Every structure is written in structure tokens, then in C-alpha cells.
A and B are shown apart, each in its own frame.
Chain A
């Protein structure tokens, strides 16, 4: 499957927040979006699933224009893990994850055996199987994050959109989450689009990167070509050193100081 975005513009009023964005993300690939605060990452992720309607440009899934799709249709293809979900109501973990089945169920259809199996599997992948009867409102931030990932997986999406999924997590769960994301791309053949502020995680776990600056694509391509010390200096205004680290078999970024 191929998610193709071409010459996308978006703006709230006359000023455009996103300008002429084009890229293609494919099944089996972890596609990272990086960029400074306010560069339009979250806005772009919202445009991809038509939560915000682009002013111009096309979003195509295997050549089919999704801008005409209704909400249910989109929810069958796109699973979303937003930046922060505030679960204040005493829903159990099982109830929250089961909500991922909403797009697949008829209005008066109740959840069947198959739905329970799908939900079980989603909870197993995100390592929350033991929490199923707990109130989501009583869980830690990291646990809630995984519950929301499980809910997105229960949608059985073809495309998984994640907005800073590791921001609330400790280092252990950051690794677990990134590994899960790679597993979903490689083994389940999903298109995974992930926004991250952690440049090292992006470098190591993404197959392709889109570096946004001021609503425009500053650079795109393989992580080692995008996250260069020159690009980091220009976009973030930070001096960085980049070395190949044999322990992780990836480039490692050491941030030195703000450029004077």
C-alpha cells in the first residue's frame, strides 16, 4: 500500500500553515516526521486523516483519493495515537480498547467473539493484557499511552499515525514502543507515520524522514541524509555532532550547544 501526499497546502485563515507538502509512505515502512515546535507536524498528521481539510493538494491511498471518504471509512484505514488522550472517565482498559472496533461494527451490532480476539491481540502486542479490568483513569501516563496504541490497533488499520508516542514514556517503554512500531511495519505490513521530537530515536528506528521547517519540507529521505549536522543547525539552531555508533549500528547525534 502507498500513501501519497502531493502539493498539500493547509491554512486556518489566509496564512498557510503547511505549504506544498509532498511525500510518499509505503507499507512496511516507518515514516518519521521531525521538525521544531510550530513547524506543522501535528497539523500535517491531522490533514493526512482529513481531521483538517487541506486547502489544496491530494491525499491518495493506492491511487484512491481519500478526501471524499466518510469518517467510518477513514477510521477503518487510519489508526491514530494522539499526542495526549485524557481519559478521566472510569472506563476499563477493555472498554477503551474495544472502542477501536467502532468503525467495524454496525450501529446496533454488539461486539462478537472475533472482536474480542482482535482486542486481546492488540492488548497483547502492547503488553497491557494484565490491565484489562483496571480503570484507565487510574493508570500511569505510559500505561494510558499503550492503551491508546492498543485501541488504534483494534481498528486493524492499514496506516498507523502516532503523534509523539514516546513523550510520556520512560526509556524502557520508549524502546518497547519503537520496537513494536517496527514490528507493526515489518511484520504486519502497516504504513507507520510517527512524529517525534527525539532525533536519536528517529534516526535509529525510522526508514525515512521528513524534516519540516515553517510548514515546508526542509529535507526528506533516509535518516542519515536528513539529520545532518548542517540541517540540524539550520532548522533547530543547534550545533550537533554526528558519529556512527557501532553498539546500535546507527548514527548517533550529540547535541552540543545553541548556535550563537
Chain B
């Protein structure tokens, strides 16, 4: 029999290698994201342009490419890839947290009605003819508020039943969807911008969006890592988790607040991109197992990789125009989702 201590450090080593591998893949995918578009830029030039921005290291690089390439890479593709990555990270980590909390494979960051709330906020902003920044602000406020509304509804004598939360989330989501439809019906001339927003995409993404998103991720993601043991224990059931010293109700509150902030920010910046928060945690769980200590860091990489990839496809597929990335994620997402439904209750653990 192999020694347990050795086995234990072996597992840790393997996990670390997996994370390193995923981070390398993320880097390469990002480089591809800088290369492709209406103008193709070779990977060598991309790396040189990026390196030339680093003080000292960049001084020795001689520019052999047109100046417009600098603008394309640094001002257009770099922020777009970063926004895509951040949204992918936010949605997949939030999804991971919600699935752990609900112990339900169907849970996604959107189950608490957050996306419908956000869509309602955005539609409202568009309808009152709001200036540009009010759309993400309204989307954020309404999506976050929806989570708190659903939480308050499901709270009975200090305890929240996850089943009630799921049901009331679906109910509230339907309510907001109906309101969105109503607004779309009543103001046909604004239909296009609402629909565009709801399909989700990164076409308007620049450094402003990076600046909006980054603080939310920097604030929220470490807390998820912080809560990974709690989420692990919760997978064994609420009573077991409590007996292991976990404050179950506080963990629920934390995860819901984090979801509200993180997903609210993502929805505000990129619209309601579907399926990322549902399928990426599942794929990642298949790769690294159910332990949140590795699952959450791995979701950071896989979420980023998936989102950058789908955005590349979205902007390549009907050149010179582009598709909303939400369409691509669902086109990839639905077949996988159906596959999940087929193999449920096998090795996935649901």
C-alpha cells in the first residue's frame, strides 16, 4: 500500500501541475485573441507589441510593423480579451459557488433571477432614453436587487431553504421576463438595443469596462477561495457541514452576496451571456474533481479560456461583422447540457 502522506503530496502536486497547465493554455488563447480579427497580426508581432509596453524590457525592441497594429492590439483587442476573460471568470466562479450551495447541477449564477432582473434594468434604462452609462448601472442595480429580493422571500425564521430559493428565483425571473417583454412590445423602436443587450457580447468592450469589472473580481474571487472548505463540507449536506463547524446560514448569505456583486457586474458590462456559469463549472469538475480548493482556481482559468475562445469565434464567424457571443456560448452550451442530462447520477456526483 502506498503511503498516505506520499499520496497526499502527490495529489497536491498533480493539482498544481493542472493549474499551471491551464494557465499556459489561457495565455496562448489570449495571444490568439490578440492575433485574429479583420486584420491578422502574427503571434511574433503581438508578443513584441506587448513586450514593448513593459519598461526596460521593451526598450530594445525595434518596431517593424505599422503603427496601426499598436492601436489594434493595445486599444482594441487587449481590453476586449481582458473583459472577455474577466466575465468568463466571474460567471464560472459564481456558477461554481451556486452549484455547491444548491447541491444541484442545474444551478447557475442566473437561478436566483439575476439575469432577468438585469435585463429588466437594462430595458428600463434603454426605454427612458438613458445615456450610455446608465444601462450598465441599471442592469447592475436591478440584478443585484433581484438576488436580495429572492433571498428575503425565501428566508423563514432566520433560515433559508435552498428549494424555496430556487423556486422563488424562477418565479421572480419569470415576472421580470414578462416585464421585459412588455417593454419590448410597447416600444418597438427600442427593441433592437434591448435584444442586443440581452444576447450578450463584447463589441463595445474597452478599458472602461475593464476598470468597472476588475474591482468586483479582485474583491469577490478571493472570498470564494476563502470559502472553499465551507463549500466542500456543504456538498455532504447542511447538517454535516454544521457539525464540522461551518456556519451554514452565513455561508449561504456570503455566496449570495458574492453572486449578486460578481454576476451583477458581469451582466452590466456584457449583457446576459448564457450557459458559461452552468457548463464551465461542470467541465472543470470533470477535470479536477469536486474539491473547491482546486475547483475554484481551475474555474478561473477554464472560464477565462472558454470566454476568450467563444469571443474569437463570435467575431470571426461572419466577417467583417460579428455575432453576439451569447449565441456562441449557447450553441456550444446546449449540446453539452444535453449530454450532462444524459450522464447525470453517474460519476458527476449529482
Q: Is B64 an interface residue (CB 8 A)?
A: no
Are A72's CB and B245's CB within 8 A?
Answer: yes
Are B290's CB and A85's CB within 8 A?
Answer: no
Q: Is A94 an interface residue (CB 8 A)?
A: yes
Cα(A75)–Cα(B229), bound, Å: 15
Which A-chain residue is minimally distant from B349 (CB atoms)?
A89
Are A99's CB and B236's CB within 8 A?
Answer: yes
B1-22 interface with A by 8 A CB criterion: 1-2, 4-5, 7-8
Are B243's CB and A75's CB within 8 A?
Answer: yes
Are A102's CB and B291's CB within 8 A?
Answer: no
Are B229's CB and A107's CB within 8 A?
Answer: yes
- Chain A residue contacts of B348, Cβ below 8 A: 90
Q: Is B129 an interface residue (CB 8 A)?
A: no
Q: A51-B242, A85-B240, A86-B237 are in contact. Are A71 and B247 (CB under 8 A)?
A: yes
Chain B, interface SS category: loop
Cα(A105)–Cα(B233), bound, Å: 14
- Chain B residue contacts of A86, Cβ below 8 A: 236-237
- Chain B residue contacts of A80, Cβ below 8 A: 240, 243
Are B239's CB and A90's CB within 8 A?
Answer: no
Instruction: Mark each residue of chain B from 232 to 256: 1 if its CB lies under 8 Å from any CB of chain A, else 0.
Output: 1101110110111111000000000
Q: Is B215 an interface residue (CB 8 A)?
A: no
- Chain B residue contacts of A133, Cβ below 8 A: 2, 7
Cα(A132)–Cα(B290), bound, Å: 16
Q: Which of A87, A95, A103, A137 contacts B245 (CB 8 A)?
A: A103
Interface residues on B, range: 20 to 34
Q: Which of B226, B239, B244 contacts A103 (CB 8 A)?
A: B244
Which A-chain residue is minimally distant from B3 (CB atoms)?
A120
Cα(A130)–Cα(B2), bound, Å: 9
Are A75's CB and B290's CB within 8 A?
Answer: no
Cα(A66)–Cα(B246), bound, Å: 17
Are A95's CB and B291's CB within 8 A?
Answer: yes
Min CB gap A253→B, angstroms: 32
- Chain A residue contacts of B291, Cβ below 8 A: 91, 95
Are B8's CB and A94's CB within 8 A?
Answer: yes
Q: Is B332 an interface residue (CB 8 A)?
A: no
B79-93 interface with A by 8 A CB criterion: none
Are B247's CB and A107's CB within 8 A?
Answer: no
Min CB gap A154→B, angstroms: 10
Q: Which of A78, A82, A90 contacts B349 (CB 8 A)?
A: A90
Are B349's CB and A85's CB within 8 A?
Answer: no
Which B-chain residue is minimally distant from A74 (CB atoms)?
B245
Cα(A79)–Cα(B242), bound, Å: 11
- Chain A residue contacts of B232, Cβ below 8 A: 91, 95, 99
Which B-chain residue is minimally distant from A89 (CB atoms)?
B349
Which residue, of B239, B244, B289, has the highest number of chain A Cβ atoms within 10 A? Answer: B244
- Chain B residue contacts of A257, Cβ below 8 A: none
- Chain A residue contacts of B239, Cβ below 8 A: 51, 82
Are A88's CB and B245's CB within 8 A?
Answer: no
Cα(A76)–Cα(B232), bound, Å: 18
- Chain A residue contacts of B226, Cβ below 8 A: 107-108
Q: Is A155 an interface residue (CB 8 A)?
A: yes
Q: Is A243 an interface residue (CB 8 A)?
A: no
Cα(A66)–Cα(B259), bound, Å: 34
Cα(A137)–Cα(B235), bound, Å: 12
Cα(A107)–Cα(B245), bound, Å: 12
Are B247's CB and A70's CB within 8 A?
Answer: yes
Q: Is B347 an interface residue (CB 8 A)?
A: yes
Cα(A87)–Cα(B232), bound, Å: 11
- Chain B residue contacts of A72, Cβ below 8 A: 245
Q: A85-B237, A88-B349, A91-B290 are in contact. Are A102 and B244 (CB under 8 A)?
A: yes
Q: Is B27 an interface residue (CB 8 A)?
A: no
Are B245's CB and A76's CB within 8 A?
Answer: yes
Q: Is A187 an interface residue (CB 8 A)?
A: no
- Chain A residue contacts of B4, Cβ below 8 A: 94, 116, 119-120, 123, 129, 132
Cα(A44)–Cα(B253), bound, Å: 28
Are B242's CB and A71's CB within 8 A?
Answer: yes
Q: Is B350 an interface residue (CB 8 A)?
A: yes
Cα(A130)–Cα(B1), bound, Å: 7
Q: Is A249 an interface residue (CB 8 A)?
A: no
What are 26 A-to-B residue pairs whose CB atoms are below 8 Å? A51-B239, A51-B242, A70-B247, A71-B242, A71-B246, A71-B247, A72-B245, A75-B243, A78-B243, A79-B243, A80-B240, A86-B236, A89-B236, A90-B290, A90-B347, A91-B289, A91-B291, A95-B291, A99-B232, A99-B233, A99-B236, A102-B245, A103-B244, A119-B4, A120-B4, A155-B244
Q: A49-B243, A71-B246 known; 6 other A-B pairs, CB under 8 Å?
A: A80-B243, A88-B350, A90-B348, A91-B291, A116-B4, A116-B5
